Structure 1
Amino acid sequence: MQNIVVIGQGYVGLPLAQAAANAGLKVTGLDLNKETVDNLNSAISHIDDLSDADIQLMLDAGYTATTDSSAIASADVVVICVPTPLGEAGSPDLGAVAGATQAIAEHMTAGTLVVLESTTYPGTTDELVLPILETSGLVLDSDFSLAFSPERIDPGNPIYGLQNTPKVVGGTTENSTQAATKFYAQFIDTVVPVKGTKEAETAKLLENTYRHINIALVNEMAKFCDELNIDLWNVIEAAKTKPFGFQAFYPGPGVGGHCIPIDPNYLSYQVRKALGYPFRFVELAEEINNSMPKYIVQRLQNLLNNDERALKNAKILLLGVTYKPNIADQRESPALPIALLLREKGAHLAYHDPRIENWTVGSDTLACVEDLYVAVDDADIVLLLQNHNEYDADKISERGAVVFDTRGASTNPNITRL
């Protein structure tokens, strides 16, 4: 039985640990957060896609969580699933990757396969991770293998999970590619080996850059379609009847999560750093998508003006503050910059989200309203930011509320859609 250590027990690392444990591998989840580790060992989940019962099944299969990096010493495979945020200057912050790799170098033994899954710019595996691992005195191919395999976790997706989503794998050498492919094939239906680590790293960035740019396209269209009195949502429904050459993307109040707001910047960063010129598509998409919170506030202000009311002192109810529907993940949610802008303009805010009990806006913490429809009746305007299953925009509008639907969830012609 292979011993697996997964470094980082968040939205990427924990599902990976689950899949490996369910396949009969001996899995240890390594995380620096003691509270997370204690909760996992007590069968308490902290992510949407895994229930407490799922964690208990993992524990029953031999899974354990720890903060002790010495667990790496007995590992046959170590997978790095740590955060890779953007730094203050917009450059990649690979501190967690470097720290995890250093811990591996201090403890790993001959025969270990190391895989990086954390999203990063092309060249990270070979230029950052490999040199740190070589400080152990072990030799690539002779003593250890190294590969990159981009995570494709989509929180809240009821159809595609880790097992049935194809897994791209690229090794520093062909032997490393083969070792990583063999490892993942134990619990993933389709493994896709590629030429090398840079190809695997870039594939992940291409996937999310594609989405980033196409979302920016429809966000910009939303602006001029409103000016031209064109129903963009109806346009998209018509266009997607074409059975080839078109994929539907939808406008929204901004982009959230770790992937789309962050990942394309890694590719743009590397192009500027290595080649000295900008990745213009990415930078334009970033400009358009980042403009959406301000645009939403302007549209909201226009709706109030139409009723001869001011935004200042208006009572605004925000519905849904997570970045995706039907999950509790708030990472990079556009709800926050929208709320901050509204408060700057003197609006009074209330929010409802069935998955978020308390929400921090600037220096204040707001509590979720207890009764959705009482709050609707009290609001001057309702702003639908996330279309959780619990929300019925048409029913809300029937109560006489002014509703601005940024997700195209409504059918009532009295509701203003983005």
Structure 2
Amino acid sequence: MQDMQSPLASALLARIQARQAVIGIIGLGYVGLPLAIAIARAGFKVLGFDIDTRRVAALNQGDGLIKHISNAPIREAIAMGLFSATADFVRLDEPDAILICVPTPLTRQREPDMSYVANSTASIAARLRRGQLVILESSTWPGTTEELMKPVLEADGLVSGRDFFLAFSPEREDPGNPVYGTQNIPKVVGGDGADALALAKTLYDAFVSATVPVSSPAAAEAVKLTENIFRSVNIALVNELKVIYDAMGLDVWEIIEAARTKPFGYMPFYPGPGLGGHCIPIDPFYLTWKAREFDIATRFIELAGQINAAMPRHVVDRLAEALDKRFRRGLNGARILLIGIAYKKNVDDTRESASFKLIEILEERGAETDFHDPHAQVIPKTREHAALAGRRSVALTPETLAGYDAVLIATDHDDIDYALVANAARLVVDTRNACAKAGADMAKVVKA
């Protein structure tokens, strides 16, 4: 057994190694639920916590309510007595380790909204007992674990590293990815002290392919931001190249496919109608906010954000130009069908979807809009786009398509018949190159 400084750490380590530790997970959504499944499959008993009583009830019946996550492993874990869900946070003293997987959005002023993490931490602190391990997985600014969480958890006299153990390990979920999931994505781990790091590493070693220990929770927090800033900046670059090459009469998709044949020094990124999801549109601004504390300007990050945020209006402008060129009419009064309300293909996840902004801009300019999405059939209520909540997906038939002045492809779900779209629609504006990749007739297709 690994040498530990604290007797409490030694006892917890033994329980983890024997698969006798109970693991609590706060937040049972796109991150927490796959994590719960992976941990239960490794033989641990998992107690999931969520404030959504409807989700808790569904999970206890074996329904995860997330389309791309199979219900079979949830039901298997329930049948084996390895998983249950609760909305009773008084039970937070039951788990030996608690993993926090809650949202970390931005405010309207693009500042970190840490309310979910703060509330979760306060709930843990109210029931914290000696010998527990607490791990934050939510994406956040470097210093959150030690500066925000640690003082709250220590407020009643327990000391991190002696009485309880605190760590950070950023989630790396990619919803809908058929190759990489929770178990085969390496986990970066930073602990508040050697015992916390060893405990967290041992826990993750039990159910993921590899762990990557770093020097501190702040270093682990910075790793997550670095990964997503890298993606944001490179997506902004290809979005800008798309605008430039389009003005030159060049196809950015053709150029990217040719460039990616270089076996070194190049990695393909692809343009789109704007950024979506729970990470890339949000995480970079956690670092810009924190950098202001050190009087540092984050110019690359801010510029990338400006370029990506401008893409929905660029797409709508291209759509307006195409309508004018093909039919000599404007957007005012035009009927537009948007394909894809999810932020990425083959999932039902609509968080921060650029499609919401596209609909709002189109309707600001007088267009009538509907959408079709086989995965996300109802627009959920969101803080930023509450007026769109409740709208439902329309059927995708030749008759439906022919009834719109234009079809705007925002999300390239694999189960859309793009040949049908290209043939039946009067005009198609394609932001994902979906029609060309499907070998559809491009006579009525405009790339944007």
**Smaller-chain TM-score bracket:** over 0.9
Residue of structure 2 aligned with 1:255, choices 271, 275, 278 = 275
The DSSP-based 3-state class of the residue aligned with 2:336 is: strand
| Equivalence for 2:173 | 153
The CA RMSD measured in Å over matched residues stands at 1.4
Cα distance in 2 for residues equivalent to 1:282 and 1:187: 34
Tell me how many residue pairs correspond in the alignment: 417
1:337 is aligned to 357
1:251 partner amino acid: P
2:159 counterpart of 1:134 = no
2:398 touches 2:420 (CA, 8 Å); kept in 1? no
Are 1:224 and 2:224 an aligned pair? Answer: no
Unmatched segments (≥5 aa) in structure 2: 1-19
Q: CA deviation at 1:362?
A: 5.5
User: Structure 2 CA distance, aligned partners of 1:367 and 1:82?
Assistant: 27
Residue 301 (1) aligns with residue 326 (2): no
Check the 8 A contact 2:104/2:117 in 1, yes or no: yes
**DSSP 3-state at the match of 1:64:** strand
* 1:169 paired residue among 181, 186, 189: 189
Are residues 1:375 and 2:400 paired?
yes
| Per-residue deviation, 1:192 | 0.7
Shift of residue 391 of structure 1? 1.9
- Aligned equivalent of 1:74: 94
Q: Report the equivalent of 2:302.
A: 283
Which whole-Å CA distance do the structure 1 matches of 2:31 and 2:296 have between them?
A: 32
Runs of 4+ aligned structure 1 residues displaced above 6 Å come to: none
Report the AA paired with residue 363 of structure 1: A
Tell me, yes or no, if the aligned pair for 2:320 and 2:330 is still in contact at 8 Å: yes
1:410 is paired with a residue whose SS is helix
Closer, same or farther in 2 for the Cα pair 1:245/1:40, shift >3 Å? Answer: same
Conserved? CA contact 1:21–1:61, under 8 Å? no
Q: Deviations over 1:83-123 (max 9, x none)?
A: 11112321101111111111111112111111000110000
Q: Structure 1: which 5+ runs fail to align? A: none
What CA distance in whole angstroms lies between the structure 1 residues aligned with 2:153 and 2:303? 38
2:307, 2:360 → 1: CA distance? Answer: 19
Match of 1:44 among 54, 63, 67: 63
**2:342 touches 2:353 (CA, 8 Å); kept in 1?**
yes
Corresponding residue for 2:21?
2
- Structure 1 position 408, deviation (Å): 1.1
Does 2:436 correspond to 1:416? no
SS in 1 for 2:317: helix
Shift in CA distance, 400/56, structure 1 to aligned 2, threshold 3 Å: closer
8 A Cα contact 1:74 1:108, kept in partner = no
Does the aligned pair in 1 maintain the 2:406–2:425 contact within 8 Å?
no
Which residue in 1 is equivalent to 2:133?
113
Q: Output the CA distance in 2 between the equivalents of 1:302 and 1:381.
A: 12
Q: Does 1:321 align with 2:341?
A: yes
- How far does residue 302 in structure 1 lie from its aligned partner after superposition? 0.2
Look up the SS of the partner of 1:155 in the other structure: coil
Partner residue, 1:346: 366
For residue 381 of structure 1, report the CA deviation from its aligned partner: 1.0
Q: Is the 8 A contact 1:84 1:119 kept in 2?
A: yes
Distance 2:442 2:254 in 1: 12
Deviation of the 1:359 alpha carbon: 3.0
- Classify the secondary structure of the residue corresponding to 1:350: strand
Residue 346 of structure 1 deviates from its aligned partner by: 1.1
Match for 1:264 among 271, 284, 302? 284
Deviation at 1:68, TM superposition (A): 1.3
Q: Contact 2:422–2:435 (CA<8 Å) still a contact in 1?
A: no
Task: Give the deviation of 1:402 after TM superposition.
Answer: 1.2
Superposition deviation, residue 187 in structure 1: 0.7
Deviates more, 1:130-139 or 1:288-297: 130-139
CA distance in 1, matches of 2:186, 2:362: 42
Question: Per-residue deviation at 1:399?
Answer: 3.0
Is the contact between residue 74 and residue 109 of structure 1 (CA under 8 Å) also seen in structure 2? no
CA distance in 1, matches of 2:173, 2:86: 23
Letter matched to residue 394 of structure 1: A
1:175 CA displacement: 1.8
Q: Counterpart of 1:183 in structure 2: which amino acid?
A: L
Residue 396 (structure 1) shift: 2.0
What is the TM-score normalised by the length of structure 1?
Answer: 0.97
Q: Does 1:55 align with 2:74?
A: yes
**In the alignment, which of 361, 369, 386 is matched to residue 411 of structure 2?**
386
Contact 2:26–2:101 under 8 Å retained in 1: yes
State the SS of the aligned residue for 1:261: coil
Paired residue type of 1:282: I
Structure 2 counterpart of 1:184, which letter?
Answer: Y
Q: CA deviation at 1:129?
A: 0.7
Distance 1:377-1:222 versus aligned 2 partners, 3 A rule: same
2:183 equivalent to 1:194: no
User: Structure 2-normalised TM-score?
Assistant: 0.90
- AA aligned opposite 2:75: Q
In the alignment, residue 433 of structure 2 is paired with which amino acid?
G
d(CA) in 2 for partners of 1:49, 1:398: 29
Cα distance between partner residues in 2 of 1:35 and 1:220: 43
Q: 2:426 aligns with which of 379, 401, 407?
A: 401
Cα deviation for residue 145 of structure 1 reads 1.0
Between the aligned partners of 2:376 and 2:116, the Cα distance in structure 1 is: 27
Is the Cα–Cα contact under 8 Å of residues 404 and 425 in structure 2 kept in the other structure?
no
Partner deviation per Cα, 1:233-266 (whole Å, 9 max, x = no partner):
0100010000011110000000000100000010
Asked if 1:363 corresponds to 2:387, the answer is yes
Describe the SS at the equivalent of 1:241: coil
Shift of 1:400: 5.6
C-alpha distance after superposition, 1:124-175 (max 9, x if no partner): 0010111111113212222111100000011000000000000000011122
Q: Deviations over 1:258-309 (max 9, x none)?
A: 100000010111111x212321111000000000011111000000110212
SS at match of 1:142: coil
